[in-house]
Amino acid sequence: MKDPCKEATKTITLPWTDFNYDLNEGTVTKTWSDAAVTSTESICGVWIYSITKSDLTTAIDAAVFSVSGLNFNTASTDTAKIGEHPMIFKAWQGTYTGVALQAPFKVTIADSCSTATLTPSSLVDQTYTLSKTQIDLTFAAFGFTPSYCPFVYTHSTDADANLVSFDDTLKKVSIYHANPITYKGVFTVTVTATYGTNIESFSFKLTTLDPCEEATKVYTGTEIADFTYDLNEGTVTKTWTAPEITSTETDTLCGAWSYSITKSDLTAIDAAVFTVTGLSLVTTSTDTAKVGTHPMSFKAWQGGYSGFAVDTAFTITITDSCDTTTVTPSSLADQTYLLSKAQIDLTFAAFTFTPAYCPFVYTAVTDADANLVSFDMSTKSIAIHSADPALYEGVFTVTVTATYGTNTPSFSF
């Protein structure tokens, strides 16, 4: 007698054939049902299934493959699993393992991520003014196929870690520092995507600026401007005030204001004419050699930023109007003096001229003897006297002259 369950005709048709699995693609599930097997006997028990390696005894690699119910699952990120994995699908009824059906199949594991073509994203070059609002940059994921490849993003930069920080998980680059000086420069920031030996990157340039160098500084006053100084007019003072020099950056950040006035070629001003006292420029001179134009530079800067000063150019023109002014001489009437009589004392009025400060010097000359006519120009006085009744008899001319440079008006009597 024969056991009908052993003699039964059985068939198996797997719903899948050999297939490829790509590392990192996640879980791939192959599912079967009892419809995959048939038997001419139904009395032999329920169908039971197993999947082993092709040697029929060794269990499948549980780090990659698993069986749950009627599902065969494949999942792995381990490059050590790359290659072919031959397997056997077995099915039997009841306890009849000895007459089990077998269906061989093969899973080939590959790693396309290791050869995927990467298209890097990018960030434009950045300019950051130190101590200003933080710049946060987010870069897009690199482009690659398949999209599930687990590229890891990393970064590098020659900038200080206190200036540039990264969150590789969020694909974010942050730029900030409160110090306006320490981290000034030009740096390179590089973002890299890596999977195994498959590496691609992009870079952008970061330029950091000192806000105190970049600040806009303006002189808003009116005193420091072109003006004319006339010799002998005395002292002329031009004064500026601290609020008249403005900056887009605070003194707290950049330092207190300093000031200088130099010639336009930045050499020292002529100390014989010009002096700077506090916040004032003082001009005074009587020297005709100083007549002409004097180009000047007024500079104001914060802290140690003398190289980034507000520079106001102005010209002081020194003139000498006294040398050309029209003078109206005063006068004295002709005099007749009887020798030996009472002395005649004459005083002449100051000559008339504009400007009144012109320092004309009065002199007097005569063809009369000095014992007859004497002068005191400090009081504009002329004295006529002689005790001798006959010695100095005659007709004489007395001339009074006011002199400044080549300007020599006079009168005579």
pLDDT at residue 122, as a whole number? 97
Model confidence at 275, in pLDDT bands (50, 70, 90)?
very high
Report whether pLDDT(391) > 90.
no
Residue percentage of the chain with pLDDT more than 70: 100
Q: Which two tokens stand for residue 264?
A: 């336009």
Per-residue exposure over 335-374, b if at least 16 CB sit within 10 Å of its own CB, e if not: eebeeeeeeeebebeebebeeeebebebebebebeeebbe
pLDDT in tens, 332-370: 999 999 999 999 999 999 999 999 999 999 999 999 999
Write out the E strands in 257-303: 257-263, 274-277, 280-283, 292-302
Specify whether the CB–CB gap between 130 and 210 falls below 8 A.
Answer: yes
Per-residue exposure over 249-266, b if at least 16 CB sit within 10 Å of its own CB, e if not: beeebbeebebebeeeee
CATH 3.30.360.10 holds for 216-319: no
pLDDT in tens, 148-205: 999 999 999 999 999 999 999 999 999 999 887 789 999 999 999 999 999 999 999 9
Task: Give residues with Cβ within 8 angstroms of 313, minimum separation 6.
Answer: 264, 295, 296, 297, 298
Closest CA to 261 of 315, 216, 319, 212: 315
Report whether pLDDT(109) > 90.
yes
C-alpha–C-alpha distance, residues 177 and 163, integer Å: 5
Q: What is the mean pLDDT of residues 388-403?
A: 92
pLDDT in tens, 225-260: 999 999 999 999 999 999 999 999 999 999 999 999
Report CA-CA distances (Å) from 117 to 94, 144, 149.
Answer: 52, 6, 11
Q: What pTM was computed for the model?
A: 0.68
pLDDT at residue 105, as a whole number? 97
CATH number of 4-110: 2.60.40.10
pLDDT at residue 68, as a whole number? 95
- Per domain, the residue ranges of the chain are 4-110, 126-209, 216-319, 344-412
pLDDT at residue 259, as a whole number? 95
pLDDT at residue 51, as a whole number? 95
Domains 126-209 and 216-319 share a fold: yes
Query: Under CATH, what is the fold of the domain 126-209?
Result: Immunoglobulin-like (2.60.40)
Q: Which amino acid is at 195?
A: Y
Per the prediction, the chain carries an average pLDDT of 95
201 burial via Cβ count (<10 Å: 0-12, 13-18, 19+): middle
pLDDT at residue 23, as a whole number? 96
